[in-house]
Structure 1
Amino acid sequence: MNEVRLVIFTRYPEPGKAKTRLIPALGAEGAAALHRRLTKRTLAAAQESGLRIEMHVTGAPLASFAEWLGEDIRFVDQGEGDLGARLEAASSPTPVLFVGSDLPDLTAAHLIEAACHLNAGRTVIGPAEDGGYWALGLTGPAPYLFEDMPWSTDQVFGITVDRLKQHGIIPVLLPTLADCDTPEDLRLWPDLRALPIGGEAAWSGNGPRPRTG
């Protein structure tokens, strides 16, 4: 399982630049604090999985990330270009598993399941509730997945699967997860919204999130 590279994309939690779509609900400081908590949860799940972690980062020097998250992690600058260009730059060598850092429900078990499929030579994709994907695992080069993609829309998952099928690849579907990007998303995790700005989450992330309604 150690063959798989787990690549986590994140940015530095600078108020006003992190989780900007949540600022109307939480304020700049609150949105940045939530981003800090989610990134640490993601990293904890990754470390528990035993996979080889690379954090591809933006928004601050690499030394700032090491001070924040620990010096024992490999940090890589995301580089220039849109999300597609940055994903493609990070996609070699394979097998590689991409995940974001804003998934409150992510567990080590999700990552281990994906890695097992990758090590067996199977491409994987994790549908997100908003129509994108929360994970993408590749066993070989696939630049066609990153070019001319309408990122941040509800078309991303469908287009990605269609392009894989056009190249003779039927991906394994991972469980559907939701990311926390908008004020509406906060309704799914009322515990996150209720936390003080500087505090850590009371919910550990080890079980399913509390639901309302």
Structure 2
Amino acid sequence: MTPATKQLIVFVKAPIPGQCKTRLSTLLGEHKTAEFYQTLVRHCFEQLHDINDINLAIYATPDTHHPFIQQLGKDYDTTLRTQQGNNLGERMFNAMHESLKHASQVVLIGTDCPVMNSNYIQRAFDALRQCDIVFGPADDGGYVLIGANRVQPELFETISWGYENVLAHSLRNCQAFAYHAHLLETLWDIDTPEDFQRYQNHLNQNTTAE
């Protein structure tokens, strides 16, 4: 059987109260926020079943020891690794660089975009047939997905992670180092109490539609 040449990386945080989705804790409290984060993670993984011919790897922070992370590895029969780096850019580069040692394409996602589905991820892989790097923009100026068939550290440098210019600066770096970039359609993710309300409205609309 030929090994898959496509790698999907999912970045996950251990659901430790006070250490995940911290901006939501003012609304939900630390423990409820950690529970909600687990719901987001589970929803994210449920979207991956329809993607064919990929290797799946979970990169966790601060490590892979939390029972929830261990259970994810068992449930999805996949590799668990610890994110390495001093900031988000370094962690993403290290994970993607390691994956590209054995895969020709790599896509990396987080778990806080409830409207991302398998079709969106598949189209990211498809785009990499004709470009070097692909982004799934977020409407807050960041991105919910990044994929590439080659990477270098400079792509992730001089970026203020967590601010509204993340995607713009990333595209600037791509241009500086001659990476052909492709953008998917813009989605939204959950970081703030306002985002949580948007999520609740999204659920209510889906329930009404059913």
TM bracket, shorter-chain basis: 0.7 to 0.9
Shift of 1:61: 3.4
- Paired residue secondary structure (1:151): coil
- Paired residue secondary structure (1:189): helix
Equivalent residue for 1:64?
67
Structure 2: runs of 5 or more not aligned: none
Shift of 1:17: 1.4
The answer to whether structure 1 residue 22 and structure 2 residue 32 are counterparts is: no
The aligned length equals 197
C-alpha separation in 2, matches of 1:115 and 1:139: 10
Task: Return the letter of the residue paired with 2:28.
Answer: L
Equivalent residue for 1:195?
none
Identity %: 27
Q: Which moved more, 1:89-98 or 1:5-14?
A: 89-98
The answer to whether structure 1 residue 141 and structure 2 residue 151 are counterparts is: yes
Q: Which moved more, 1:1-10 or 1:92-101?
A: 1-10
C-alpha separation in 1, matches of 2:58 and 2:90: 16
Map 1:97-116 to 2 at 5 A: 97-116=107-126
Task: Return the letter of the residue paired with 1:40.
Answer: R
Task: Return the letter of the residue paired with 1:73.
Answer: T
Shift of 1:63: 6.5
The answer to whether structure 1 residue 155 and structure 2 residue 152 are counterparts is: no
The correspondence for 1:188, drawn from 174, 181, 198, is 198
C-alpha separation in 2, matches of 1:133 and 1:210: 27
Map 1:73-112 to 2 at 5 A: 73-92=78-97, 93=100, 94-112=104-122
C-alpha separation in 2, matches of 1:210 and 1:158: 35
- Paired residue secondary structure (2:43): helix
Residues 67 and 191 (structure 1 numbering): CA distance in 2 closer, same or farther, change over 3 Å?
farther
C-alpha separation in 2, matches of 1:209 and 1:167: 42
Deviations 1:134-185 (A, max 9, x none): 1111111232121221000001000111111222233111111111011011
Shift of 1:79: 2.4
Deviations 1:88-123 (A, max 9, x none): 111221521111110110100001100111244542
Residues 129 and 209 (structure 1 numbering): CA distance in 2 closer, same or farther, change over 3 Å?
farther
Residues 66 and 151 (structure 1 numbering): CA distance in 2 closer, same or farther, change over 3 Å?
closer
Residues 20 and 53 (structure 1 numbering): CA distance in 2 closer, same or farther, change over 3 Å?
same
Equivalent residue for 1:131?
141
The correspondence for 1:12, drawn from 6, 14, 20, is 14
C-alpha separation in 2, matches of 1:16 and 1:49: 33
Structure 1: runs of 5 or more not aligned: 193-202
C-alpha separation in 1, matches of 2:179 and 2:207: 36
C-alpha separation in 2, matches of 1:24 and 1:128: 23
